Structure 1
């Protein structure tokens, strides 16, 4: 079959992404936690990897700097993270997860693990690796390297 006959891959990916986000948001809401999936991604990154600069967060989550800054603002308003100046570079901020942020992460993580399990149910590690390979290839077709 010609690639032009394939379904619109963007639509298929978008539909799948929206479905996953809906399930994550429902799990968060059921737990009484008002947090978006974008906020969760940054919170999880900080919890897992530790303090980071806004630039590191942007690079590590594949989001642009203004978007990351807005997400950090929202997390800071909820007192889940805070910005601190780097001691050796007063122009940059380090983003630090707060104790409240750690508590939220720990409350949500069992639901996230369950959703991840459900997402990959019936699929193998080889399936996951193949999906990663295909997505890397598609990104590469547009000049993006991992």
Structure 2
């Protein structure tokens, strides 16, 4: 299911200058993230996890780690617990994930993938892998590897500081 190669737009419209944004890494990260998210939403159209990278991440983590607690998802995704609860609710409501009370800690809940959720997770993995390869194919492999290393380092630093 190979998609067309991602084609970036011109950097800015003629006559528009980015002001100080041109020199901010954060501006480019947000802009690329927006484009990446829009592209992923288009590819996930029709799936219960469309319109939300948080739902995709939670689904994949729950599929890989039966009994995972929402607090672990929050830690892994650098989000707070209330936002994770808002992400998990539609997964439970749509029957992709089951929430159970932890047997030894009644105040805690554990998350389990349903058979239908597992099928969706497998499809999501294929789509996300293809999307990542296609979207970033505009960069030479060495640049992609370097970008991955840099972003992973930033992510790990943020996890330690959390």
- The interval holding the TM-score normalised by the smaller chain is 0.7 to 0.9
Q: Which residue does the alignment assign to 2:101? A: 85
Relative contact order (C-alpha < 8 Å, sep 6+): which is higher? 2
Q: Which residue does the alignment assign to 1:123? A: 140
Q: Which runs of 4+ in 1 moved over 3 A?
A: 126-130, 132-140, 142-146
**Which shows bigger deviation, 71-80 or 47-56?**
47-56
Are 2:76 and 1:60 aligned?
Answer: yes
Shift of 1:137: 5.4
Give unpaired runs (5+ residues) of structure 2: 1-19
Q: Which residue does the alignment assign to 1:48? A: 64
In 1, Cα distance between the equivalents of 2:67 and 2:159? 30
- Hey, which of these two has a bigger chunk of strand by percent? 1
Q: How does 1:1-146 map to 2 (within 5 A)?
A: 7-29=23-45, 32-35=46-49, 36-121=52-137, 122-124=139-141, 127-135=143-151, 136=153, 145=161
Q: Aligned in 2, Cα 1:64/1:19: closer, same or farther, shift over 3 Å?
A: same
In 2, Cα distance between the equivalents of 1:70 and 1:54? 11
TM-score, normalisation: structure 2: 0.73
Superposition RMSD on alpha carbons, in Å? 2.8
TM-score, normalisation: structure 1: 0.80
Check conservation: 2:68, 2:111, Cα contact below 8 A: yes
Aligned residues: 139
Check conservation: 2:66, 2:112, Cα contact below 8 A: yes
Shift of 1:79: 1.1
